[in-house]
Amino acid sequence: MERVVYSVKDINTYIKASLTNDDNLKYVYVKGEISNCKIAATGHIYFSIKDDDSIISAVMFANYASKITFTPKNGDEVILLASVDVYIPRGSYQLFVYDISLEGQGNILLELEKLKKKLASEGLFDESRKRKINIYPKAIGIITAKNSAAIRDLIFNIKRRYPVAEIYFFPASVQGENAPKELLSAFKKSQEYDLDTLIIGRGGGASEDLSAFNDEALVRAVASSKMPVIAAVGHEIDSTLIDYIADKRASTPTGAAELATVDQREILQKITYALEDMKDGLISRLESMKDMTSSYKEELVNALKNKLYNYNLRLSAYQKQLIALNPKGVLSRGYSITLDISGKPIKDAKQVKPGEEVTTLLEKGSIKSIVEE
């Protein structure tokens, strides 16, 4: 067998692809102690996470670090939400950290993960349960906070895209101690209406404020919704259980409005295209009919000409026959016709008696005579 020689980069690239494509290493929770912690001027946090037996390098980039509510330091017992990645130039693997919580808070994350697995085992997250969204809705329900940016964005974008849809608003707190109860109450109220789609969510916020959307009672209720549900909680990485249960998920209220409706401009464009197609079709058909009419006209004219020609031939023949049969034609050849007193032609001499008057017709004029014998 031919020997294959790889470069060092090839090996590291292959290892990176193997690790990053492993679903078991995407968005994993890791518990340990922070060490070698450094916060760069850019806002990135570089550190290691260790336990009694092992240590792993980790990095939390500024866009995620800006969302956490405490400053990590050496010795902190934490739970990370991260993915495993490989730094190819050095052939080292590390954790890309999306969220970090102190251990007490981390226990909540572990409980959440436990509930997530439980619901998944019941098939509540299965794609086969997902329903298609009617993008031509008569009525859309919205569950979110009153006077929030989310409700303003949703109403504006729904009306902009599909103004004929009716909007029903069921206000509820989206964070705080009473949020799960209010969200559940608003959801139950929404089920009393004939809605095509229900949007439930908020306009973003810190990840620790998303707990209401992980409430088991609310999640199970949403799973039983009689109409399709779009979740718009507003986090890409920190998915809530509502995101998994919903038929569709949007990262922003605007995105939810786009999932829930068709843009009227698309409808008008389709109508315009359809009218253009109809117009082109009618023009083509009229041109075809015009060509057919022209062809039929030519055929009709030719047929009439032939008929007239044949009629003229026959008329000429009849005319010749009439001329030949016309008594005046006989007279022109030197013959005459004799009529009795009643004007009848005399064919036999026995038709007249002596003394009777007869008339002889010539080509030019006539002669009256008295029969003597």
Contact 215, 180 (CB under 8 A): yes
Give the pLDDT of residue 23. Answer: 78
242 pLDDT higher than 90: yes
160 pLDDT higher than 90: yes
Contact 55, 30 (CB under 8 A): no
Let me know if 258 is exposed, middle or buried by CB neighbors in 10 A (0-12, 13-18, 19+). middle
Cα gap 101→107, rounded to integer Å? 9
Residue 359, classed as helix, strand or coil, is strand
Give the pLDDT of residue 157. Answer: 94
CA distances to 62, 144, 263 from 152, in Å = 29, 10, 18
The shares of helix, strand and coil residues in the chain, as percent rounded to the nearest 5, are 45, 20, 35
Give the pLDDT of residue 69. Answer: 81
How do residues 105-155 score in pLDDT, each as one tens digit?
556 667 778 888 899 999 999 999 999 999 999 999 999 999 888 999 999
Nearest CA to 368 among 346, 336, 338, 342? 338
Q: Bigger pLDDT: 266 or 165?
A: 165
Global pTM reads 0.54
**What one-letter code names the amino acid at 100?**
I
Residues 6+ apart with CB under 8 A from 118: none
How do residues 181-208 score in pLDDT, each as one tens digit?
999 999 999 999 999 999 998 876 555 5
Cα gap 194→144, rounded to integer Å? 19
Give the pLDDT of residue 356. Answer: 84
Would you list the DSSP string of 83-119?
A: EEEEETTTTEEEEEEEEEEEHHHHHHHHHHHHHHHHH
Residue with tokens 């199970």, as numbered in its chain:
220
Give the pLDDT of residue 215. Answer: 92
How do residues 161-175 score in pLDDT, each as one tens digit?
999 999 999 999 998
